[in-house]
Structure 1
Amino acid sequence: MSRLWVSLLTLVIYGLAQFGVIILQLSGLFDNYSGKELVFAQIYTQVTLFIIASFIIILINHFIANPTSLEQQPKEKKRYAIGWALVGYFIVMIYQIIANMINIYLLGAPQSSPNTERLMKVAQEIPIFIILISVVGPILEEFVFRKVIFGEIYNMIQANKTIKFLIAGIVSSIIFSAAHSDPSFFIIYFGMGMIFSALYVYTKRIWVPILVHIMQNGFVVIIQVLVGPEKIKEIQESASFIFNFLF
Structure 2
Amino acid sequence: MSAADELDGPFEKRFVALGDSFTEGVGDIDPSSPNAVRGWADRVAAQLIAEDPRWGYANLAIRGKKLPQALDEQIDAAVAMEPTLVTLYAGGNDILRPVVNVDGLMARYRHAVRQLVDTGAQVVLFTGFDSAKAPVFNLTRGRTAIYNEHVRKIADDLGCTLVDFWHMKKFQDWRYWDVDRMHLGISGHTAMAKEVLAVLGAKDDIPAPEIEDLPPQNLVERTAGNVTWTREHVLPWMKRRLTGTSSGDDLSPKYPKLTSRIW
More helix per residue: 1
After TM superposition, is the score higher than 0.5? no
Rg larger in 1 or in 2? Answer: 1
TM-score (norm 1): 0.26
- Please identify which structure carries the higher strand content: 2
